[in-house]
Amino acid sequence: MSSTEKEYLTSQEAAKILRVTPATVMNMIKRGQLRGRKVGIAGKSSPWRIYKEDVLRYIELEEETISVKASK
């Protein structure tokens, strides 16, 4: 994979990494916490793909937040 290609996850894969439900992942996309895009034919039933980089960045930020709160 070239450095310009994005690696995508399904909402189920992202949910497994984040240890949440796929519905929570979709809510995170709606709130702007994760970026994603619909793939396939346009419409409500089109599946979403989430940037793996964003999932990993979200985890890092959450860990930093927890560390800061614990050190207070």
In tens, the pLDDT along 27-48 reads 999 999 999 988 877 666 778 9
The lowest-confidence range among 1-5, 49-53, 55-59, 68-72 is 1-5
Q: Mind listing the pLDDT tens digit for each residue in 7-30? A: 999 999 999 999 999 999 999 999
Nearest 5°: CA angle at 19, between 71 and 11?
A: 130
Count CA atoms closer than 13 A to 27's CA, side-chain side.
6
Q: What is the pLDDT of residue 38?
A: 87
Domains (ranges, CATH) in the chain? 8-71 (1.10.10)
